[in-house]
Structure 1
C-alpha cells in the first residue's frame, strides 16, 4: 500500500492538475510532498522501532498513513492536497522503516528468512508497477480521488491484522535517553537532501539554488556526525558503518535504484509520448517486469541464495539489469512495444527479482538484532535517495538533450527518443557502478551449519562482514 502510493499518483497528475488548478511548475509537488518526508523520516523511524518496539511504530505509521489518504481523497484545493500528501509520506516512512526488521526477526531459520525476504522484495518491487496500473484504471473509470480512497479500507484491515497477529516486543529504549538533537539534525538533513535532488531537475545541478541547498545538507550532516560521536545514546551508532555488508549493501542499493528508476519513469514516458499509449496501456506495459520480479524473488532467488549465498546472485543480477537498460538505450522513434520495450523487460525483471532479496539479506546480515530496525531504516532510506537521485539526474539529462535537439530542428518524436536513450545508457552506468561496489565490498555471510566465528565486540565489524565470499 505504501509503495503503491509512490507511483499511483503519477498517471493521475494531469487529472489532478485540471481539477485543483495546479500550475505546471507546481504540479511536481504532488509527488515531492510525499517523497520529502518519506525519505527524511525513514532513518529516525527505524531507530524508534528499535528503541520503542517495532509493532508500536509500525501500527502508528499505518494509522497516520490511512487517515492522511482519506484527507488526500477529500482535498478540494491544492494546499489541502499537498499538506495531506506530506502527512501521508510521514506515515509511509514510519511504516516502511521497520518492515524489513520485523521480517528478519520473525523468521530466524535461514531458508524461511530467505523466502520471507523474497516476499518482501516482491511487494517492494511490484507495488510501483501495480500503482501505475491501478492509478490509470481508477482515474479513467471513476476519478483521481479514488487513488487515495482505495487506501482507506486496505489500511483499516492492515491495522486490525497487525494488532491481532504481530507479536509485541519490548524496545531497547528502556533506561536510554532519546537523542533529540541528533533526530532533528538527521531528519532535516535527509529532507533537505531529497528536496535538493528533486528540485535540481528544474533549477539545474550547477545553479546557486542547488549548490546552496546542497551545502546546507552537507553542513547538517556534518553536525549530525559530530553529535553522534559525542552523544551518550546516539541515534545512529558509529559502529553501524564498521559493518562491511551494511555499508556495502547501502552503496550498491543506492546506485542500483538510481539506474533502475530510469525504467520506471522514462519507459513510461516513452510509451506514452512516443508510442502513443494511454494510461491503462502503459500500466499493462510494465506488468511483465512485475511478473518476472515476482517469479524470481518468490521462488528462484531464495533457492539460489540458499545454495551459493546472496553475493554471487547479486552480481549476476546487476549484470542483467545493466544489460536491460542498455537494450532500452537502443529504442527508436518509430519502434513498437514488442521490439523496443518488451525485450528489455526480461533481463530487468529477472535481474531486479534476484537483486532485491540478495541485497536485503546482505544488509540485514551485517547488523545485530538490536540494530536491525536501524539497518532496515537505512536500507529503505537509500532506496528513496537512490530513486530521487535517479529521477533528478536522468530526467534532467533526457530533457536537456531533447531540448538541444529540438533547437537544432530535430523532430519531436526523434528528439524525445534520443533523450530517453541517453538517460537509459547513463542508468546502465549507474548499475555498473553498483556492480563494482558489490564485487569489491560485499562478502557472503557464513553458510548455515558452518562453525560460528567468535563474536566481536559491539564496536567491531561482525563476522558476517569479514567472512570470505
Structure 2
C-alpha cells in the first residue's frame, strides 16, 4: 500500500509535507495554555501535570535520529504514513484519557509518531526540491507552516480549552492526521529506501536513542531536581557517556551506521545545527515567557492570550515571504545572520515589559519584529542544513536538525526558566513576575545574537541552495 500513489508531483508533496509540519508544530504548543484546566480535569498533582509536556519532549527528542535513519533505510513515504497513524491513534487515546497516566502515555506515543513523521517529511521535501528557485520557495512554505503551527497552537489551545474543553486539544489532531495521511498516501510517490546497503547498526541505534533520551530527561527534570543535584548530574553524565560511546561505535562499525560522522564535518551541516541549538532555545523560552506574561501579568484568559499570539504567526509568514523573495539574490548565510539580529532586537524590546505596559508597545511591537526576523532565518536554516547532503542520508540530516532544535528548546527552557524564577523570587506579584520574565526575554535576545555569531563564523560565505536539477523547478508555482 505504501508504494502506491494516485498522483505524484512536487506541489502535492509540498502540500502533504506542509500539513504534517503544521500538525507537529501545533502539537508542541497546543496543550501549554490548557495545562491548568487539564490538571483540574484529571486531578494531576502540580508536578505531575508537567509530564504532559515532558512525555512528548522525551519520546520526540530521544527518537528523532532513529526516525530519520529508519526513513533513509526503509523508505520515507512508508515511515511518514506509519508515523501519522501512530500520531492519530495517540491523539485519540489522549483525548479519551480518564486518568493522568492515560494522558501521559498518549503524549509519549504522540512523540513517537512525530519522531517518525517529522524527519521523513523534511527528507521528502529535500529530495523533491534539490535546488534552485523551487527549493527556495518550497522551504519558504515549509518554514511558514512550521512556525505558524507553533503560534496557532497557542490560539487553538486557548480557544478549545475555554469553549470546548481540554480534551479537544488532543482530539483536534485527528482530522489533521486524516488530511495529511490522505495527501501523503495519494500524492507522494513510492520510496523504498535503501534496505540493501548492509546490516543495520543496532548498537548505534540503541546508544543514540538511549543517549538522547537521557539528555532530554536530565534537562526537563531540572524543574524538580536542581542543576547541581545528584539525579541531574548523574543523568547528564550517563547521557554524555552514551553519546560518546555512540560516536566511537559510528567511527568503527562495519555496518550501515546510524550517523555518518563525515556529515558533521560539513561546515554547512555543523554550522546550521549549532545555529539551530540557539534558535531552539530562544524561541521555546520566548513563547513560554510571553504566554505567562500575558496570562499572569496582563491577566488575559486562555482564549485572549491565544488571540494575542496571532500577530506572531502572521509575522513569521511575512518573514518567510521576504526570505523567498530575497533568496534568489542573497545568500542563505546572510539571511540567517540578518534574521537572527532582527529577532534578537525583537526579544530585547520584549525585555522592556512591565506590569503597567500596554499590549501595543510591550507585546504587539516586539512580537512583529521578532517573528519577521524568525521567518527570515528559518527557511535558509533548514535548506542549509540539508543542502548537498548525500540523498541516502537526507533523513538522517533531517533528524539531526530536528534533534538540535529539540535539545536547544529543552536546555534553553530549563536554564532560562530557572534564571527567571530566581529573579522573581518567592513573591508572585505581577511586578516580581514581570521582572523574571523580562530577564528571560533579554536572555533570549542574547541567544539569538549567539546564533548570528555562529552563522558568521562557521557557515561558508555565499552559502546558497544548490543549483536545480532539470526537473527540480517544477511544481511549487503559486504555492509560495
Q: Does the TM-score normalized on the shorter chain lie above 0.5? A: yes
Deviations 1:133-183 (A, max 9, x none): 111111111111111111112212221221110011231221421111110
Provide closer, same or farther for how the CA distance between residues 294 and 340 of structure 1 changes in structure 2, counting only shifts above 3 A.
same
2:459 to 434, 442, 453: 442
**Is residue 278 of structure 2 the alignment partner of residue 255 of structure 1?**
yes
2:319 corresponds to: 296
1:416 corresponds to: 433
Counterparts of 1:271-420 in structure 2, within 5 Å, are 271-297=294-320, 299-403=321-425, 406=427, 412-420=429-437
Judge conservation of contact 2:384–2:464 (CA < 8 Å) in 1.
no
Q: Cα offset for 1:109? A: 4.4
Q: Cα offset for 1:11? A: 1.1
Q: How many correspondences in the alignment?
A: 444
**Is residue 450 of structure 2 the alignment partner of residue 428 of structure 1?**
no
1:458 corresponds to: none
Deviations 1:65-114 (A, max 9, x none): 00110000111001111111111111011101122111121123411111
For residues 60 and 318 of structure 1, what CA distance do their matches in structure 2 show?
Answer: 35
Higher relative contact order by CA 8 Å / sep ≥ 6: 1 or 2?
2
For residues 240 and 188 of structure 2, what CA distance do their matches in structure 1 show?
Answer: 39
Counterparts of 1:210-249 in structure 2, within 5 Å, are 210-232=232-254, 233-249=256-272
For residues 399 and 137 of structure 2, what CA distance do their matches in structure 1 show?
Answer: 21
Q: Cα offset for 1:261? A: 2.1
Q: Cα offset for 1:346? A: 2.1
Deviations 1:253-274 (A, max 9, x none): 1112211222211000001000
Unaligned segments of structure 2, at least 5 residues = 1-22, 469-480
1:467 corresponds to: none
Judge conservation of contact 2:424–2:432 (CA < 8 Å) in 1.
yes
Unaligned segments of structure 1, at least 5 residues = 451-469
Judge conservation of contact 1:365–1:445 (CA < 8 Å) in 2.
no
Q: Cα offset for 1:366? A: 4.2
Question: Aligned with 1:307: secondary structure?
Answer: coil
For residues 372 and 189 of structure 1, what CA distance do their matches in structure 2 show?
Answer: 22
Q: Cα offset for 1:381? A: 0.9
Judge conservation of contact 1:250–1:363 (CA < 8 Å) in 2.
yes
Judge conservation of contact 1:244–1:366 (CA < 8 Å) in 2.
no
For residues 300 and 112 of structure 1, what CA distance do their matches in structure 2 show?
Answer: 15
Counterparts of 1:117-266 in structure 2, within 5 Å, are 117-232=139-254, 233-266=256-289
Judge conservation of contact 1:243–1:367 (CA < 8 Å) in 2.
no
Judge conservation of contact 2:316–2:375 (CA < 8 Å) in 1.
yes
For residues 109 and 415 of structure 1, what CA distance do their matches in structure 2 show?
Answer: 50
2:58 to 12, 33, 36: 36
Provide closer, same or farther for how the CA distance between residues 14 and 229 of structure 1 changes in structure 2, counting only shifts above 3 A.
same
Question: Aligned with 2:34: secondary structure?
Answer: helix
2:43 to 6, 17, 21: 21
1:53 to 70, 75, 79: 75
Q: Cα offset for 1:333? A: 1.6
Q: Cα offset for 1:342? A: 1.3
Provide closer, same or farther for how the CA distance between residues 175 and 447 of structure 1 changes in structure 2, counting only shifts above 3 A.
closer
For residues 153 and 260 of structure 1, what CA distance do their matches in structure 2 show?
Answer: 27
TM-score relative to the length of structure 2: 0.90
For residues 412 and 57 of structure 1, what CA distance do their matches in structure 2 show?
Answer: 49
2:27 corresponds to: 5
Judge conservation of contact 1:395–1:423 (CA < 8 Å) in 2.
yes
**Is residue 97 of structure 2 the alignment partner of residue 85 of structure 1?**
no
Judge conservation of contact 1:12–1:136 (CA < 8 Å) in 2.
yes
For residues 335 and 176 of structure 2, what CA distance do their matches in structure 1 show?
Answer: 34
For residues 366 and 433 of structure 1, what CA distance do their matches in structure 2 show?
Answer: 25
Q: Cα offset for 1:229? A: 1.2
Judge conservation of contact 2:54–2:220 (CA < 8 Å) in 1.
yes
TM-score relative to the length of structure 1: 0.92
Question: Aligned with 2:224: secondary structure?
Answer: helix
Question: Aligned with 1:9: secondary structure?
Answer: coil
1:268 corresponds to: 291
Judge conservation of contact 1:69–1:149 (CA < 8 Å) in 2.
yes
Question: Aligned with 2:48: secondary structure?
Answer: coil
For residues 388 and 296 of structure 1, what CA distance do their matches in structure 2 show?
Answer: 25
For residues 429 and 294 of structure 2, what CA distance do their matches in structure 1 show?
Answer: 14
